[in-house]
Amino acid sequence: MNDEVLTRDDDGVLVITINRPDAKNAMTKAAAEGIAAALDRLDSDDHLRVGIITGAGGTFCSGMDLKGFLRGETPTVEGRGFGGLTLSSPKKPLIAAVDGYALAGGLELMIACDLVVANADAKFGIPEAKRGLAAGAGGLIRLPEQVPSRIAMELALTGDFIDARRAYEIGLVNRVVDGPAIDGALTMASAISANGPIAVRVSKQIIVEARSWPADERWARQAQLLPQVFESADAREGAAAFAEKRSPRWTGLWIGVEKGPR
């Protein structure tokens, strides 16, 4: 891990912090590689249930480091995309905790996450057109899937910013908080971590992948994935815990034909 990206384990929640506050956390190649490595850790470590990505110094990410761009640097990771994330998200849930600005590539990094918690003073936008560029890391493809297409068109063509209240109104963010976004994100992560890990992982997988499934195959494809949930030890443990009025003790084990972790 390099000093441009910091990580900490907060009781099973991996907090990933872009650590370039003097540059408004503009994305570099090194930072992108650091994020990719952190996300690999998130998926490979069974202790970790949820990831949070945030920025140091009161800003989420101001986009690509333009000085690096002029030097010929591209802040991407092969197979992972801009910021080590936009082309390939982790299997486990990832929350963006946004303070300050999420602009250009920073917004594209944010919308590659599964959930977004924003401070009330946060600002959002894809102003690439103002610099003769285009939002090619998801702003032109993923954003219209998350907000009404005419709003996505307006943001892309004008390059104007919107505030947190407007972002919440159009469904771009899940929650707006008055304090640091990381506090709200940790609260959300705690609620997710309390649930069965297999159920969470498969639920995310179906929601993400079903968008590209042919309409007449959706139920069949879902049926292929659900046995991982319903034939797991956690499914029985969840029912038993409910009946016994206690907190469940999750194991993340599958008890189907091929026993073992899934």
Catalytic site includes residue 145: no
Contact 182, 51 (CB under 8 A): no
Q: Which of 108, 217, 231, 237 is catalytic?
A: 108
Beta carbons within 10 angstroms of residue 240's beta carbon: 12
Catalytic site includes residue 128: yes
Alpha-carbon distances, residue 207 vs 141, 202, 218 (angstroms): 17, 9, 11
Give the strand order in the sheet containing 123-125.
101-103, 123-125, 162-163
End-to-end CA distance of the chain: 27
Contact 204, 195 (CB under 8 A): no
Q: Which of 73, 128, 154, 244 is catalytic?
A: 128
Query: Which strand (E) or helix (H) includes residue 101?
Result: strand 101-103
Residues that are catalytic: 108, 128
